[in-house]
Amino acid sequence: MTEQEQIEALDRDDPLAAKRDEFVLPEHTVYLDGNSLGCLTIAARERAHEVVETQWGRDLIKSWNQHGWIDLPVRIGEKIARLIGAAPGQTICCDSTSVNLFKLLSVALQMQSERCIILSQKDNFPSDIYMAEGLRHLLGDNRVQLSLCEEDEIETAMHDKVAVLMLTQVNFRTGRLLNMQRLTERAHALGILVIWDLAHSAGVLPVELDACRVDFAVGCGYKYLNGGPGAPAFAYVAQRHLKHLHQPLSGWMGHSSPFQFDAYYTPAPDISQLLAGTPPVISMSVLDAALEVYRDIDTAQLRRKANALSELFRTLVQRSPELQDLQLVSPTLPQQRGAQLAYRHPQAYEICQALIAHRVIADFRAPDLLRVGFSPLPLRFIDISTSVTILTKIMRSESWRHPQFNSRSKVT
Amino acid sequence: MTEQEQIEALDRDDPLAAKRDEFVLPEHTVYLDGNSLGCLTIAARERAHEVVETQWGRDLIKSWNQHGWIDLPVRIGEKIARLIGAAPGQTICCDSTSVNLFKLLSVALQMQSERCIILSQKDNFPSDIYMAEGLRHLLGDNRVQLSLCEEDEIETAMHDKVAVLMLTQVNFRTGRLLNMQRLTERAHALGILVIWDLAHSAGVLPVELDACRVDFAVGCGYKYLNGGPGAPAFAYVAQRHLKHLHQPLSGWMGHSSPFQFDAYYTPAPDISQLLAGTPPVISMSVLDAALEVYRDIDTAQLRRKANALSELFRTLVQRSPELQDLQLVSPTLPQQRGAQLAYRHPQAYEICQALIAHRVIADFRAPDLLRVGFSPLPLRFIDISTSVTILTKIMRSESWRHPQFNSRSKVT
């Protein structure tokens, strides 16, 4: 078999191959940015049409009951729960990842009245750190301290004055996968509560929140979950903590009886207490439909294919003489990373722009990283070899030096 | 002229009559609930299609620049600014009304380091009070106290220990309109900062935030602004306060350079600092398009027509012998209320259900209020007389006593 035939065989033998047909994909494009914004599914497109035209346009206010708008946050939460190892009743869809993190950081600190340190890693997703800073700004340095350590030193940085360990399971730049079980166990042994951000892990690898006895988690609806741009996020609270829950963004949707319009707040006695204001129903409905693609598959299957895709990319890059200036900053072993690879290159920005001009959509992370993501359902193995072929041509011809690829835009 | 002819003449002479054609309205229905969920416009329907199919589906991640997703919060903010008397640079679209209130309450309290009382009225929209309670729960009773007064006693309840006066301009139950200018002046004279909730006033009556020297405001995108179910909300910060702004939900979108991925938070030096996480682009795009209906009209025109509609309804009800059991709880004078009327009746719930069954969509507010809203752009005068005719038939026949109208559902 030629290499081309071998790659075609991978697609032929792929048990998830048919899932690609559930997506609406741009033509003649290899999309390696599903870790930044997932692709549109047919089900999501249809639901968008239905929620706007029929539910809103025709049935208007009646849709809160008639089309189950009021239940969307819990219903979506339960669909996501399946993908993150959470038994029912602990997961809900609402607000943004950042806002949900604020709620759960507040709750965790309240539960730790004798401790005030939030420990995270320096290279955590910046918004996560910014939210902790915001809470510190609000509560004061006496009540919140922020301690940031290197990724390799998380275990040794834990001690019995730390209140909360806040980590992202898969690093947004390098793709490095942290050991959730080990770090959670170590934290608990020291009386530390843990909050995991699953932005780059939910929907692409097995996450076992219950089995790891995680306390709290948040995650994002618009990456591997394909919920659409800025899709609502989700939050998880372990069953054992629900009875202590009193989150500060106590809007009417988290009240035990929102439509009683009581004068005072009585928190809902379950996960729906995490709701604040009225949810963005259109965006939420689209996410609900997008999750249908996961109905009959499990995260182990997703993990196998994502690993095979990223390994194919890594191997092809490694073998190409033209690509030796691209320095892999992700772990070499697939079990140590999520579904992405990042390469360092001084001209990463220009290379990324040249790829996009050739219809290979990757992304750039300042100052010098080229990041490629491997969303396992829409991508074929042949797409991987196509993208590396194009990358090789760009690097060989140095076409990325063209001035058109040289002006940095606002969002990259 | 017969009464019917007089009403037809009102529609014929209505300078806003053509605006109805910009809406997609349910057939054979009189929708008196635009104050709860506004109607779909043609522009919003088209934008929903475009943002899903073309922008997300085809252009994917590139749309953040190419289709201006990144600018949506500010662009929408400026469209709303025109409707609320705000000069540019002070209004932004983001999150929910409740979450925005939390941000602004926090900011206002930080600016008032010697004061800790949040004053509001007992019958404010519950979620507003709940958010203040949430902040008190988080910061403690030493730092936040909540004082609730009767609507008629707001002026006398103010004193020089009050930090923040938090009011909703139009009461969600009664529709009573508060005097923004007078209450704001009185508050400022006592060193109190004011936060106005414009949920039931933005897009339906003239609001003059700058002229009244209001400090902060929030409001809702899905009522008179017709932004769709759970549409993102907005927030206003007076120019003079922007330099002191440091809001606690400090997510990456409010950073001065979000895509630099800095390790620490540096607040944007302008209104965009109010952004937290990634905005729900689909819901936000729909709101952006919905606001187009306001491009060539001003709030005085909206006010005139809304008043004329509500006065017609009130007068027809008053004249109908069958409707004397409906007790008006809204102010009788249109200049003292927003664009809604509320009637008390022990069987308000059942009457509301019977109306809905006859395709007159009103809403019920526990325990005993029938609420009707007069969204001036989609409604005709003939719709008002139709709805009162149907209400009269229902009350005359007592058909609301039928068991089918008697089981209270979850959302009403």
Average per-residue pLDDT in chain A?
96
pLDDT means over runs of 10, chain B (412 residues): 94 98 97 97 98 98 96 98 98 98 98 97 97 98 97 97 98 97 98 98 98 98 98 98 95 94 94 97 98 97 98 98 97 98 96 96 94 98 98 89 65 40
| Residue-level pLDDT at A407 | 58
**Which of A62, A232, A361 is the closest to B60 by Cβ?**
A361
Distance CA B56, CA B51 (A): 6
| pLDDT of A86 | 98
Q: Give whole-number Cα distances, B225 to A7, A238, B80, B171, in Å.
A: 53, 39, 9, 17
Contacts of B98 in chain A (CB under 8 A): 249, 251-252, 276-277
Contact between A107 and A145 (Cβ < 8 Å): no
Q: How far apart are CA A57 and CA A50, in angstroms?
A: 9
Query: With an 8 Å Cβ cutoff, are A282 and B283 in contact?
Result: yes
Which residue in the block uniquely carries the two structure tokens 């540096």? B266
Banded model confidence at residue A405, pLDDT cuts 50, 70, 90? confident
Residue A403 has pLDDT above 50, yes or no: yes
A412: pLDDT strictly greater than 70: no
Of A270, A215, A349, residue with least CA distance to A89:
A270
Instruction: Answer for the pair A323, A395: CB distance below 8 angstroms, yes or no.
Output: yes
Q: What is the largest CA-CA distance in chain A?
A: 73
Which of A38-42, A194-198, A408-412, B380-384 is predicted with the least confidence, judged by mean pLDDT?
A408-412
Mark which residues 54-93 of A lie under 8 Å from B by CB.
Answer: 55-65, 69-70
Nearest to A250 among B65, B133, B248 (CB): B133
Which of A45, A125, A138 is opposite residue B248, by nearest beta carbon? A138
A263 vs B: CB within 8 A: yes
Mean pLDDT, residues A239-249: 95
The ipTM of this complex is 0.96
Amino acid letter at B378?
A: P
Average pLDDT, chain B: 96
The first and second tokens of residue B394, run together, are 């229902």
Q: Does pLDDT of A411 surpass 50? A: no
Q: How far is B280 from A319, CA to CA, in rounded Å?
A: 41
For residue A275, pLDDT beyond 50? yes
Average pLDDT over residues A375-383: 98
The 3 state secondary structure assigned to A220-234 is CCCCCCCCCCCCCCE
A364 Cβ under 8 Å from any chain B Cβ = no
Q: Which residues of A are catalytic?
A: 125, 197, 222-223, 371
pTM of the predicted structure, to 2 decimals: 0.97
Facing B250 at nearest CB: one of A44, A53, A130: A130
Mean pLDDT within A275-279: 97
Residue A408: predicted pLDDT: 56
Residue of A nearest to B219 (CA): A277
In whole angstroms, give the CA distance from residue B88 to residue B106.
23
How many Å lie between the alpha carbon of B281 and the closest alpha carbon of chain A? 5
Q: Does A31 touch chain B (CB under 8 A)?
A: yes
Encode pLDDT of A93-134 as tens digits.
Answer: 999 999 999 999 999 999 999 999 999 999 999 999 999 999
Task: Check residue B27 and give its pLDDT.
Answer: 94
As a whole-number percent, the residues of chain A with pLDDT over 90 amount to 94
DSSP A306-361: HHHHHHHHHHHHHH-GGGTTSEE-S-SSGGGB-SEEEEE-TTHHHHHHHHHHTTEE
Cβ separation of A126 and B255 shorter than 8 Å? yes
Asked if residue A410 has pLDDT above 60, the reply is no
Q: How many residues does chain A have?
A: 412
- pLDDT computed for residue A402 by the predictor: 76
Q: How many helices (H) does chain B have, and how many strands (E)? A: 13, 13
> Alpha helix locations (H) across A84-237?
97-111, 126-139, 154-157, 180-189
Phi and psi at residue A349, to the nearest 5°: -60, -50
Based on the residue annotation, tell me whether B222 is a catalytic residue of this protein.
Answer: yes
The better pLDDT of the pair B259, A86 is held by: A86
**A108 — contact with chain B (CB < 8 Å)?**
no
| β-pairing verdict for A117-121 and A162-168 | parallel
Average pLDDT of the segment spanning A323-343: 98
pLDDT, residue B399, reads 76
Q: Quick one: which of B279, B207, A115 has its CA closest to B219? A: B207
- Average pLDDT on A311-336 reads 97
